[in-house]
Every structure is written in structure tokens, then in C-alpha cells.
Homo-oligomer: A and B are copies of this chain.
Amino acid sequence: MCGIVGVFNKEEAANYVYLGLHALQHRGQEAAGIISTDGESFYVHKGRGLVNEIFNKKGIISSLKGRLAIGHNRYSTFGDESLANVQPLYAHFDLGNIAIAHNGNLVNALGIKRHLVSEGAIFNSNSDTEVIIHLIARSKKTSFFERLVEALSIIKGAFSLIIMREDEVYAVRDPWGFRPLSIGKLDDAVVFASETCAFDLIGAEFIRDVEPGEVVIANRDGVHSYKPFKNRSEHKCVFEYIYFARPDSFLWDRHVYSIRKKMGEVLAAESPVDADIVIPTPDSGVPAALGFAKASGLQFDFGLIRNHYVGRTFIEPSQSIRNFGVRLKLNTAKDVLDGKRVVVVDDSIVRGTTSRRIVKMIRSAGAKEVHLRIASPPVMSPCFYGIDTPTKKELIASSHTIEEIRKYSTAESVAYLSLEGLKSIVGENGYCFACFNGDYPIEFEK
């Protein structure tokens, strides 16, 4: 996934980027970085871990000087764990300095990289974002804008980008529009962020989304919009609605929370079940479970209680103490579950192992029946556009029937939201449904 933020023309710009990254922490917890500029030098700080952990030493934020800054939350997708892969990337090239933050995944990066390398380019990271910098640097066009456009015309795949030069900040979405990117306003400053929840935190006003294929430039002459790319049919990632985006964000003109509730409603209509209560898997299943309960008339309740202190750094108990996995995060509310026929609503199933553990926990808390309801269609194909799904083999729905999944999960019944049901909510067109139906808008090139 990854979350990106950019601020143009605000005193202590890095501080706002820091807060924006905090609001986007759910999009990536592995690493983060901020690069700022005062128009002369570029200031960099990166690290592994949560935004808080990386920037909480006195003096770090204030060392990131200037009125322009961009930042990046890394969610491991492509490239190894080296700090060299942590974004934003920085480079010096013939038009000066550049910093770039990228959300998404290119499908033809390997081929381009191979070509660039054969022409003498050197790579210091495994990030496919480095390819973009090389393409800009090697373009024969004269202006930065033309070179950027040329470079972005060569790459294919998902790219929401925020790019900073000494005196301007660019926001770009690929022509397919896979990943989100929004424009906000904070006094005289222009703010870009993956999701609007970042604007809410820093008190910025949401203006509009960057459109697919649009290049937005914020500089001293104002905000400028260009559509320099060949038209492509829009393929926004529907999984942003299902799982990735924060429920309080407005995404592509819709409130994520409402979309998710609606998914639960449609699911209840499609796959009703005779039960006593509806419970969510916290926290991602909550809106859908509320929708399911509302539509079905069943009682909504919390049968699984989450421990909020489970952090990224929780150390593994020793060998003699096993299987703590799900229990470290969740415990059952036995009174709620005991003797009940329970519908448990989750947003999606990937490998199936967590669902199985949860069904077992619920049953051992006394539930008479456990019915698993999934507020999205079966995930059958891997994503090539920036989501770290496992290989096809590991996706339980790619190799198992619903009945086999039910047996594995040990639930009395399992039902998914149908693809038609999903489309009835978000619309027939304009979305990438590849993970559900295998229709890839662009093939991955090896």
C-alpha cells in the first residue's frame, strides 16, 4: 500500500507532513521518511518503524527545514528491507535535486530497469521507484515537466506520486487511477495526501481528488493541472473501499465507512442466516457487521474484544509458549457468545488461517453456531498494483470451493458478498476487480 503526503508553501512544512503520515499510518507501518527543502538544500530523515518512533527524538522534525516537504509510509511490497528502499527517494540530476514518494507498483519496472542498466544506469535500491528517476534523468526533453511526462508515459502500472523539486511539488495519478490521491488547502498552502483523513488531522480543507492521468503542480504561480497522458479506462482499486482506506476518509466521492456498511447490508440480503447475533472481527469488520445487522434485523454486538496495546514490536514468546497469535490481539466476550447462534462478519479472507482461528475462539466461548460472512467476493488472484497479496497458491479461494473453505474454517456456514453485489454498491465500471475476477487492466511484465 503505502501512504504519501506533500506540503507546498507552509512554514514548518515537515511538521504537517509528519502529522499527515501519522494519519496515514494504517497504509504502511514498516518504515517512513520525510524530505524537505528550503529552496536550496534538501533535508532527509528516514527510519524503520512507526512514524512516532522515527521522528520522536527532539530536533529531528526541526532539522527538516523549509516550506516544502513530502513524506512516505512504507508498506512492504516490492524490494527488500534495506534502508536504501525507504522513501521518499532523493536524487541529484542535471536539472537539480528531486525527491519522490510513490504509492503503487509498476508492472513493467523490471524490463525498463534491465534496459536502463544495460545502458549504464546504476541502481542503489530494489525500489521500482528508482526507475522513474532514471527515466526523468535520461529524457532528452528540456523542461522538467516534459521529461516527467515522457518518463511516466513509459512506465505502466499503479503510481500515485508526490514529487518535490526546489520550488514546486507535483502530484500525479496514473491514467488508470489505481491508487487514491487528494488535494487539500491549508491557508495559503497546498497539501497532497493519499487519503482525506490526513487533511482532517492537520485542519486542511479537502478540495478534490487528483484525477486519473492528471499532473497537478503547486508552485509560486498557483496550482496547475495537466492531462498529458493517453486516455485509459479508469480502474480504481476497489480494495481501498473494502479494506485499505481508513473508514473516516472520503474516497472517490464516497464515504468509506458508508460503503462498508452498505456491503454488509447487501451481504445480509444475499446470504441471510437464522441467528441470534451479528458480531464483527475488530476493527475492519465493524461497518459491514453494522450493515449486516441493520439489514437482517439481528442484534449487533461485540463478541471479540481487541487488545489495543499489541504493537509492531511485540516479541515472540519462547518456543514453549505457542499459538498466541490471535489471542494477543483478540479475546472473546463470553457472555455475548455463550449459547448463541453467531454471525461473524469480516471484510475479506486471504489465506483463511485467521478466519479458522476466530471461528474456533468463538465456538470455544460457547457459541452454538458460527456463521462466517465476508463483505467482499472471494479473493482469487494476486494483485500486481501495489497490494501485498500472497501468491495465487496461498489464496484459499483460488484453490478451494466455498464448501471447502467452510470446512477448513470449521464454521456452520460461509458466504461471501457476490461480485454483482459489490458492483451494485460501487458501480459496474471504473474499478479494478482483478483480485476477484482475474481481469487485469494491465498485465505484469517479467
Q: Chain A: residues with CB nearer than 8 A to chain B?
A: 11-12, 15-16, 18-19, 22-23, 25-26, 29, 44, 50-53, 55-56, 58-59, 61-62, 82-84, 89-94, 117-124, 133-134, 137-139, 197, 200-203, 246-248, 250, 255, 257-258, 283, 286-287, 290, 294, 299-302, 305-309, 311, 313-315, 317-318, 320-321, 324, 327-328, 331-336
Contacts and interface: CB of A to CB of B under 8 A. Distances in A.
A71 B283 CA distance: 30
Contact of A121 (B15, B93, B300): B93
Contacts of A122: 91-93, 133-134, 137
A331 B93 contact: no
Contacts of A300: 290, 300
28 contacts: A16-B321, A22-B314, A50-B309, A50-B311, A52-B314, A56-B313, A56-B314, A58-B58, A61-B318, A90-B124, A91-B122, A92-B122, A92-B123, A93-B122, A93-B123, A94-B117, A117-B137, A200-B327, A201-B331, A202-B321, A246-B305, A247-B302, A248-B331, A255-B333, A257-B335, A283-B308, A286-B302, A308-B308
Nearest to A62: B318
Ordered nearest first, which 10 A-B pairs have the shortest CB separation?
A: A120-B138, A255-B335, A248-B305, A25-B309, A91-B122, A248-B331, A258-B335, A92-B123, A94-B117, A257-B333
B333 A248 contact: yes
Contact of A318 (B15, B305, B311): B15
A311 B52 contact: yes
Contacts of A246: 305, 307, 331
A278 to B, nearest CB: 11
B93 A117 contact: yes
Contact of A82 (B44, B302, B321, B334): B44
Contacts of A93: 117, 120-123
Contact of A287 (B26, B134, B294, B302): B302
A327 B204 CA distance: 12
Contact of A321 (B12, B318, B327): B12
Nearest to A286: B302
Contacts of A50: 309, 311
A402 to B, nearest CB: 30
A98 to B, nearest CB: 8
A316 B258 CA distance: 32
Nearest to A197: B331
Given A56-B314, A248-B333, 8 more contacts: A18-B317, A25-B307, A52-B313, A58-B59, A90-B124, A94-B120, A122-B134, A201-B324
